[in-house]
Structure formats: C-alpha cells, structure tokens
Chains A and B, each alone.
Chain A
Amino acid sequence: MVILVKIFGELRKKIEGFNISGSLPLTLQIDSDGINTIADILNKYTIEKEETSHLFVNGSYSGFNKKVKDGDRVGLFPRKMALLYKWYFTRNEDE
C-alpha cells in the first residue's frame, strides 16, 4: 500500500538516508499506513509548511489538509521554487 511522492529541489535534503546528487527529483514510494493528508507526509520528514511552495496530489494543486490515499501521486516543491501563474490556481483542500 504505497503513495508515490516526488520531492523537488532543496526539500530533498530533508529526507534522511538518501545521497542527493544532481538535480533530478527524489522519487519515493512510501507506506500509506498512517498517512491521511499532505500534512502527514510533511510531518514524516519534519518539513515545515513554510519550507514548501507548490503541493500537488494527482496533478491537483493542493493545500496541506488535502487527503491522500493508497495509489496517489504527491509532488512537493520547496519555497525557493515558487513560480506559478497563481491566478489560474487555487489550493484544493479537504476539511
């Protein structure tokens, strides 16, 4: 039961046990047990909310409380990579 998580840029440094070299994103398959929202994934790697910018779940621009489940694809971008035509996007949220 896994969630595919793509971690971009300097956020990769937050993931222990991986040698970061080059500029390709880090692609992780994480166990979905105990993971209900994007915030849970951030907590797992002690990533602070203000260290992030764009968050995606299955291609949907999302907020911290967006629900995630087995089989989803999650993308996490660092604050330093903030660049969206934000007027075309709002964060997709769950309660």
Chain B
Amino acid sequence: MSKKILRVNMTKLEAKFEDVPADFVALGGRGLTSTIVAKEVDPLCHPLGANNKLVFAPGLVTGSIAPTSGRISVGGKSPLTGGIKEANAGTSFGQKLGRMRIAAVIIEGKHKGEDYYLLKITNNGAEFIKANKWSNKGLYSTYKELYKEFGDKVGICGVGIAAEIRGTASGVCFNDPEGLPSRYAGRGGLGAVMASKGLKFIIVDETGAPGVEILNEEAFNMGIKKLAKALTSHDVTKPGGALNSFGTGVLVNIINEAGGLPQRNFSSGQDDRSEKVSGEVKAEEIKKRGGVRPHFCSPGCIIQCSEVWTKPGGKDPVGVLEYESVWALGPNCSIYNLDDIGELNRACNDLGLDTIETGGLLGVAMEGGLTEFGNGKGALKLLDEIKNKTPTGRILANGTAFTAQAFGVTRVPVVKGQSLPAYDPRAIKGIGVTYATTPMGADHTAGYAIATEIMGVGGTAEPRDTKKAELSRNLQIATAAVDATGYCLFIAFAVLDIPEGLEGVVDTLNGVLGTSLTVADVPGYGLQIIKTEREFNKAAGFTEKQDRLPEFFLKEKLPPHNEVFNVSDEELDSVWGA
C-alpha cells in the first residue's frame, strides 16, 4: 500500500483519498507543503478566502523509528506575510499520519456559514463532526474534553480563539505527550487560515495503521544506528548535554553575554536581569516544582530538549517554555519573572497564539503605551482582550506590525510582516541576512542547519562581519532539506560535527524511499524547495525590496556593541542572486 493524500473540501464537506503523484513521492514535510501550495494556490488569492489551501505533511521518516524525527509541516499562503509559509512542530500527531501512510492532508474551500467542524481521520477514511461546542473556549480545557470524547490514543490539531477572530498571530496547535496544547506550528498566522475554512480541529486515530513503509530495511537500519550514535555522543545532543539538561533556554545567558538578546522591544542587546529567566534557573525551578525535565515533544527523541513547566507545587502544567518564547514574553517586554512568562505562555497556548509574534506585539503595545514595560500582569490583561474578542484584542491578535500601526509605534521589528525572533541582527549579522532573505519572513529556524564545511563552502562567520550572503544561503538550503525529512533541526548540531551522522540521515531516507541518494544530493534538494517558495512569493508581488530589515536596525545603534545592521543591499541581494 503506497502513500495517499487526503483532500478535504470544506465547501462541500467532502474528504477523499488520492494517490500521491509520481513527482511528489520523494517529497515530505516542507518539500511537500511548499510544492503543493505553489502548484495549487493562486499567489494573489486572499489568504483567508476560499482559494487558499492549508497543507499538512509529515516528514519523509516521520512515524518511523528513526530517532528525533517527529516533525510535521504546515503550509499555505500566510495572512501575516502575504507570501508562502511553512511552519513545523514536533508532535505525535504527525507520527500518526506518517504511520497511516498519509503523505499530506490538503484543506481547501471554505465552509459557508458560522459553523465550525472537526475532521476525524482514521485508517478507513474521514468524517466531519460539528465543533461549535468547542469554539470560543480555551484550548487547555478543550483538549481535555476532546481526549475524553475520542480516547487518549488520538492525536489532536486545533486552532484557538485568536484564529476564530482571524488573527494573523494565530498558530496551528498540536498535542504534546501529556495531551497539552503546547506544540505549535506557530508562525505566519496559519491558525487563521484553518479557522477561515470552518475547520477547528483535526483528530487522528491511527488504529490499524500499517506503519511507515520501508523499501530498504538494511539501509534504514544502518542509518538509524549511525544517527543514534552521533546524537548520543555529541555534547549538545547527548543525554545530559546542553539541550537535554537545560532545554533551548540555555541560550538566554549565552546570547545575552553575546550582546544579542533583544531587550525592551529591540532597544538593547544585553540586560543582566535576563539571568533570572535563564534555562538553568528554569530547569532548577521545574525540578523544585515537580514539573518534567527532560521530556520529549514526540516519542522516539534522543535529544529530549522539551519540558513541562508548571505553577508552584507542580500545579496547572503549561508545557514547554522555549528559549524564543521566554525571550519574547520576557526580556523583549522587560519582564524578568518566570512565573509571569509561564502564565503569558499559557495564555498563548490557550488562545492559539504564536509566542514569538505575541511577544513582539506586546513589545510594541508597551511602547505604544497600552501597558508599561515590565508589567507582566498588564500584558496578561492585554491577552484577555483577545480572549474577549474586543476591538483592541482584534488589533493585537493581528501581530506586531498591525499593532504598531494601530498605536503609532515606529520601532517595528518585523520582516515581511513577521516578528523577529530572539537574536538581534545588529549583534549577529548572519542571522539578520537570513531574517531578511528567507521566503518565510523573519525566522531564525530558516537558516540554522548543517555545517558550512559539510556543504563544501567557506564564508566567514565572525558575528559582526558583514559578508554573510554565502553562509546564509547555504544554511537556508540545508534547513529546507532537513525540514522535508521530518527530522528535528537540532540533529544538525551532531551531524555537523560527526560526518557518519549525516550519512545516517541520508541512509534512512534511502531506506524509506528505496533510492540511492548521497550527502552530495542534499543541497540540490533543499535549493529546489527554496526556489519553489521564492517563485510563489514573486508571483504574490514580492521583490528584493521586501528582503530588507526595518529602517531602525540600520539607524539605531544597539548597546552594548553600539552597532547598526550594516550589511549592504547588494550583499542581501546576492543571497539569491536576485
């Protein structure tokens, strides 16, 4: 039995399985979502109209026993950026789709009227169930009810109140192992796309699933061994290593020390109060409270960077507090209290909001005077405006750029309308090049992967040197390739330093596909994905003028380095040879 695509027409409330076209067989994850979106979606369509599509695709090895491979990609035209979007998450939901041999779920059309639906996917087909009783509610209580109704073995994907009001800061939410609504394909407002179609939840029940098809068991098993050995031996990824011990939050102190941790809506790159919200402090506090750390976002992960943050006494689990979330809802808002940050993260999860975009919009809201910098309770009250669907809430739910415009703020940290993540591009210029030139809008994960040396290129990596085009291009290409496999990007730390690890990755792909790819094939694979995405964006009206950082990064010096972003437009344009 080969893989299928499930096509879901929300206008007619019909769902049917199709064969995967021959030229899509070697595509998974971001490779498949971006290819389908580029082929089937009019780049000029309204992102919240009937002609946009939302595509879910597990990676090529997702659902198999390959380690650290539980990623699922979600794609569509972004209502936040106006361009193509891929956001991904680690969750058992994607693994279940992979084992059911569902290469993609394509949501198209738009249900007329006010009703919301739940789509239940089983091994035998799909059905639509009215979901109105679960709308206008927080996702924590709703996920509990859904598990009660559909059993604790299912996977859940859903969108929250922020998406119901079509907020472009809304993400697509997946379950974590505890069933909490904490794993997000957060970026780009894809939650609003899902809600716009009248779709509120997808439930996956994998009972009777055949499992991921492996065409070459020998290659697959050899690959797993090599990759597992690399992951368990590398300092960053091994049990007891940095990610496993402290989670992604270990970066708080490191990036603050590097002078690149944005404070107070990108007005400084260092503030030692950030030490109070570091990964080390968080790990200690989780242990004290009886939360969980380390923890996996999806079964089969060796790295286990995740965690379960709780209130004091182990009460009311939130889920993971990632580095980006802690920074966005913390230092970026001058909030240096993990309890406040935890409650803000809970509110984001509950309302279906992207934490990075929410931290960005809160930063500009504070600058615009809606509440004071540092006021955690005030920030929570602002998110209540979204919960109550007030006019102010509707402004906030539309993200950083929209909020800034509404309140007359001119320091607006966005690229292509999407809020910047937790690294100031004036201190770390290479990542600024990636923010500017990725088709996704400002995105740290877009250029974050395999080693330049493995890609066979040079390119200086001194943080404040301005020659970054080649480095950023190769990182973006490698990342696109990883995003197609279903592996977590964090494997890059190990396979970068241990060549057998990268060979292992390619071996597992050959095992699944029955191909004979080599490491040298990886760049071409990734480049094709980026080309597809850039062509979509071009047809949607993007030019090189959108591959720029906002003016204030070029004019306002960032303490402590007191530097501006001074990478030339020519250097930015040379990334893709525009």
Q: Are the C-beta atoms of B257 and A6 separated by less than 8 Å?
A: yes
In the complex, chain A residues whose CB is within 8 Å of the CB of B463: 60-61, 88-89
- CB of B302, distance to nearest CB on chain A (Å): 16
Pick the 9 closest A-B CB pairs, nearest first: A59-B259, A23-B280, A75-B257, A88-B430, A83-B242, A23-B281, A23-B284, A90-B461, A56-B257
- Contact A82:B427 (CB < 8 A) given known A23-B281, A24-B275, A90-B461: no
- CB of A59, distance to nearest CB on chain B (Å): 3
User: Residue A18 at the B interface, CB < 8 A?
Assistant: no
In the complex, chain A residues whose CB is within 8 Å of the CB of B461: 86-90
Docked Cα-Cα span, A61 to B427, in Å, equals 11
Chain B 479-499, CB-CB to A under 8 Å as 1, else 0, gives: 000000000000001001000
Closest to A58 in B: B560
Which of B36-44, B159-167, B243-251, B387-395 binds A?
B243-251
- Contact A82:B242 (CB < 8 A) given known A56-B257, A87-B430, A90-B461: yes
Q: Are the C-beta atoms of B254 and A81 separated by less than 8 Å?
A: yes
In the complex, chain B residues whose CB is within 8 Å of the CB of A69: none
User: Residue B49 at the A interface, CB < 8 A?
Assistant: no
Q: Are the C-beta atoms of B462 and A82 separated by less than 8 Å?
A: no
Q: Are the C-beta atoms of A59 and B254 separated by less than 8 Å?
A: no
Closest to B451 in A: A87
Closest to B471 in A: A87
User: Residue B400 at the A interface, CB < 8 A?
Assistant: no
- CB of A85, distance to nearest CB on chain B (Å): 6
User: Residue B541 at the A interface, CB < 8 A?
Assistant: no
Q: Are the C-beta atoms of A77 and B475 separated by less than 8 Å?
A: no
Q: Are the C-beta atoms of B259 and A82 separated by less than 8 Å?
A: no
In the complex, chain A residues whose CB is within 8 Å of the CB of B321: none
- CB of A63, distance to nearest CB on chain B (Å): 12
- CB of B88, distance to nearest CB on chain A (Å): 18
| Number of A residues, CB within 8 Å of B | 29
Choose one: B251, B283, B496; the contact of A23 (CB below 8 Å).
B283
28 residue pairs A–B, Cβ–Cβ below 8 Å: A6-B257, A9-B280, A22-B284, A23-B280, A23-B281, A24-B275, A24-B278, A25-B275, A54-B257, A56-B257, A59-B269, A59-B427, A61-B258, A75-B257, A77-B257, A80-B235, A80-B242, A80-B245, A82-B241, A83-B236, A83-B251, A83-B493, A88-B430, A88-B463, A88-B471, A89-B461, A89-B462, A89-B463
Docked Cα-Cα span, A6 to B280, in Å, equals 14
The CB with the most chain A CB atoms within 10 A, among B254, B460, B462, is that of B254
Chain B 442-475, CB-CB to A under 8 Å as 1, else 0, gives: 0000001001100000001111000000010001
Chain A 56-86, CB-CB to B under 8 Å as 1, else 0, gives: 1011110000000000000101011111111
In the complex, chain B residues whose CB is within 8 Å of the CB of A6: 257
Docked Cα-Cα span, A89 to B461, in Å, equals 5
Q: Are the C-beta atoms of B236 and A82 separated by less than 8 Å?
A: yes
Residues of B303-359 contacting chain A, CB below 8 A: none
| Number of B residues, CB within 8 Å of A | 44
Docked Cα-Cα span, A76 to B258, in Å, equals 11
Choose one: A54, A58, A90; the contact of B462 (CB below 8 Å).
A90
Residues of A7-22 contacting chain B, CB below 8 A: 8-9, 22
Residues of B365-399 contacting chain A, CB below 8 A: none
The CB with the most chain A CB atoms within 10 A, among B242, B260, B448, is that of B242
Docked Cα-Cα span, A90 to B269, in Å, equals 19
Closest to A56 in B: B257
The CB with the most chain B CB atoms within 10 A, among A56, A84, A90, is that of A84
Q: Are the C-beta atoms of A77 and B281 separated by less than 8 Å?
A: no
Docked Cα-Cα span, A88 to B476, in Å, equals 13
Closest to B449 in A: A87
Q: Are the C-beta atoms of A88 and B431 separated by less than 8 Å?
A: yes
User: Residue B408 at the A interface, CB < 8 A?
Assistant: no
Choose one: B236, B269, B281, B451; the contact of A22 (CB below 8 Å).
B281
Query: Beyond the given A25-B275, A61-B463, A90-B462, could you list 16 further A-B residue pairs with CB under 8 A, ordered by the A residue number?
Result: A8-B253, A23-B281, A23-B284, A24-B275, A24-B276, A59-B270, A77-B253, A77-B257, A79-B235, A81-B254, A81-B280, A85-B431, A87-B451, A87-B452, A88-B430, A89-B428
In the complex, chain B residues whose CB is within 8 Å of the CB of A61: 258, 463
Chain B 276-303, CB-CB to A under 8 Å as 1, else 0, gives: 1010110110000000000000000000
Docked Cα-Cα span, A92 to B391, in Å, equals 50
User: Residue B210 at the A interface, CB < 8 A?
Assistant: no
Docked Cα-Cα span, A86 to B493, in Å, equals 9
In the complex, chain A residues whose CB is within 8 Å of the CB of B430: 87-88
User: Residue B561 at the A interface, CB < 8 A?
Assistant: yes
In the complex, chain A residues whose CB is within 8 Å of the CB of B260: 59
Choose one: A54, A56, A58, A81; the contact of B246 (CB below 8 Å).
A81
- Contact A80:B241 (CB < 8 A) given known A6-B257, A88-B471: yes
Closest to A74 in B: B257
Q: Are the C-beta atoms of B462 and A92 separated by less than 8 Å?
A: yes
User: Residue B524 at the A interface, CB < 8 A?
Assistant: no
In the complex, chain B residues whose CB is within 8 Å of the CB of A8: 253, 280
Closest to B462 in A: A90
Closest to A24 in B: B275
Docked Cα-Cα span, A88 to B284, in Å, equals 29
Docked Cα-Cα span, A22 to B280, in Å, equals 9
- CB of A54, distance to nearest CB on chain B (Å): 6
Q: Are the C-beta atoms of B275 and A83 separated by less than 8 Å?
A: no
In the complex, chain B residues whose CB is within 8 Å of the CB of A53: 235
- CB of B445, distance to nearest CB on chain A (Å): 10
In the complex, chain A residues whose CB is within 8 Å of the CB of B475: 87
- CB of A8, distance to nearest CB on chain B (Å): 6
In the complex, chain B residues whose CB is within 8 Å of the CB of A60: 463
Closest to A78 in B: B242
In the complex, chain A residues whose CB is within 8 Å of the CB of B254: 54, 77, 81, 83-84
- CB of A24, distance to nearest CB on chain B (Å): 5
In the complex, chain B residues whose CB is within 8 Å of the CB of A87: 430, 451-452, 461, 471, 475
Docked Cα-Cα span, A22 to B278, in Å, equals 12
Docked Cα-Cα span, A58 to B283, in Å, equals 27
In the complex, chain A residues whose CB is within 8 Å of the CB of B427: 59
In the complex, chain A residues whose CB is within 8 Å of the CB of B448: 85
